Amino acid sequence: METSTRAIVSLSVQLCNFHFQRSSRKHGSCGLRRLVPRNGILTAVNKPRPKPALTMALAKSGDCQVTELQAGERLFLGMDFGTSGARYALIDKDGTIHSEGKREYPRYMSGETIDWVRSWRKTLFSLLEDVPVHLRPLVASISIDGTSATTLIVNSNTGEPLWRPFLYNESCPDALPIVKSIAPENHTVCSGSSTLCKLVSWWNIENSSKDSALLLHQADWLLWLLHGNLGVSDYNNALKVGYDPELESYPPWLLSHPYSQLLPSVVAPGTSVGYVKEDIRNQLGFSKDCAVCTGTTDSIAAFIAARATEPGKAVTSLGSTLAIKLLSTSRIEDARYGVYSHRLDDKWLVGGASNTGGAILRQLFTDQQLDQLSEKINPMEQSPLDYYPLKSVGERFPVADPNLAPRLHPRPECDIEFLHGILESIARIEAKAYNLLKHLGATQVEEVFTAGGGAKNEKWTKIRQRVLGLPVRQATQTEAAFGAALLALKGAQQSIN
Ligand SMILES: Nc1ncnc2c1ncn2[C@@H]1O[C@H](COP(=O)(O)OP(=O)(O)O)[C@@H](O)[C@H]1O
Ligand SMILES: O=C(CO)[C@H](O)[C@H](O)COP(=O)(O)O
């Protein structure tokens, strides 16, 4: 069996082994039904088939066409709503990519601020329209990942937002003392950028219409646009509002407060929660049995895409932000450092998300300049420059300090040296993060896969390998959209079981 197929099989088994939880409308933890994949389903994945040559294609220039599809074969659609843009990946049950595309977010303005709700809604339907028309009827399920803790407060009857979204890295320090007073010490929610701080901050706004309000995360709301069942989230997105993925319920210390009435019900990522709505099916040509499955966060989707399945394997997402996920048998959380653990089946993804990363690179260089300047860097030479590269004040992890200021001086005359200093300084932050996780008791990291836009920078990979003292390599699949598509595959297999 081909290695890649084996990886898909093990990942599909792992995904199918997620606990499946049927949650009540509100908050109760519910009966668990452990999913045991029927061999018959997975042997279909075992069938080694020649992998057709793939050509990547942007949606705008048509689609990535893989000619070979078995009669009756179904496809699985994953969409990633990241920081700087959104992407889709359309795969078959072997993980072969049949079409891919990406869209920048349109910058609709509402006064001085970007109308993100309008932009995300437009981008969702633009991506669906970019899926080749002849492949849409074959789509068996859809899933979406979004940026973690990006929070919407919507009307619980209509689903329409009652307030502007709180973005993933937005901090609400006004709510932090209240949240710290109700949550256990150093709990994941005890961070200004947590979803719970955003909820409490909104709740304390004078005339906020509290009676008919509901909290959704970005991925939840986008998925609701497709399935129409309001008020469902997944236990990765719900972590930062206080949901306990081990108890599989919201904790009593949270449920005793009035704002807990806004909380969505929670199921496992990749759980089918409905079918694509009739009006969307008729307009776009998706099939009546096209299921819509709960999603996850963008960095977890990137981890799933990397197919790292053993404790000690880690994924660093070098997207707009530096997000770290280490597969661990032990659950670690400590808000003093911005460390928390997401659940992945019966293991834990320990890590956090720094505000350093590609966003500061994009502010200083174009992607072409990054390629050209990186080519001239000697990655084996240590940079003497010691920066803390941030776009603005505030850091989440491995230092949780809302007042941490960017440090990008002195700037050398030579841009090659400047970029080398930035890449090496981000590598040092990455190394500090992995050492912190080890110090806090997580499984020792053995190998790091890289996802996100920075994964293609070979010189940066070599710098990171030197600084981390670990094997570092680009994940076979670096796109979170591929991970979301694997979640859609999991949901479809669950529906069959
Ligand atoms: N050659 C490169 N080296 C390092 N970083 C790069 C390179 N090319 C692009 N990037 C960075 O990748 C980031 C985009 O990655 P992506 O995964 O699309 O981010 P996100 O999903 O968070 O929006 C940008 O911030 C950009 O600066
Ligand atoms: O930085 C981010 C946006 O890209 C998110 O914070 C990232 O998803 C990390 O959050 P999580 O660890 O909950 O996935």
Q: How far apart are the C-alpha atoms of 35 and 14, rounded to whole Å?
A: 10
pTM of the full structure:
0.85
Below-50 pLDDT ranges, the chain: 1-65
Cα 318 to ligand 1 centre (Å): 7
Contact assessment for residue 428 and residue 469, using Cβ atoms and an 8 Å cutoff? no
ipTM of the complex: 0.96
> Greatest CA span in the chain, whole angstroms?
63
For residue 423, which atom of ligand 1 is closest to its CA? 4
Q: Which residues, in sequence order, are CB contacts of 287 under 8 Å at separation 6+?
A: 136, 137, 138, 139, 140, 281
Residue 87, strand partner residues: 80, 102
Query: Using CA positions, which residue lies closest to atom 21 of ligand 1?
Result: 82
Give the pLDDT score at 67. 52
95: left (phi over 0), alpha (psi -120 to 50) or beta: left
CA distances from 336 to 187, 221, 401 (A): 9, 30, 9
Give the pLDDT score at 87. 98
For residue 317, which atom of ligand 1 is closest to its CA? 17
Tell me the H-state helices in 99-233.
116-130, 176-182, 195-203, 218-227
Which of 220, 320, 321 to probe ligand 2 with, by most ligand atoms within 8 A of CB? Answer: 321
Ligand 1 lining (C-beta closer than 6 Å): 82-85, 319-320, 358-359, 361-362, 367, 370-371, 374, 452-454, 456-457, 460
Residue 435 neighbours by CB distance under 10 Å: 13
Give the pLDDT score at 495. 75
Q: How far apart are the C-alpha atoms of 367 and 378, rounded to whole Å?
A: 19
* Three-class secondary structure of residue 319 per DSSP: coil
Give the pLDDT score at 84. 87
Q: How far apart are the C-alpha atoms of 5 and 404, rounded to whole Å?
A: 45
The predicted-structure confidence for 389-422, as pLDDT tens digits, reads as follows 999 999 999 999 999 999 999 999 999 999 999 9
Calculated CA dihedral for residues 298, 302, 303, 306, nearest 10 degrees: 170
The predicted-structure confidence for 30-81, as pLDDT tens digits, reads as follows 333 333 333 332 333 333 444 433 333 333 333 444 557 777 899 999 999 9
Give the pLDDT score at 75. 98
Give the pLDDT score at 70. 77
Cα 189 to ligand 2 centre (Å): 14
Give the pLDDT score at 432. 98
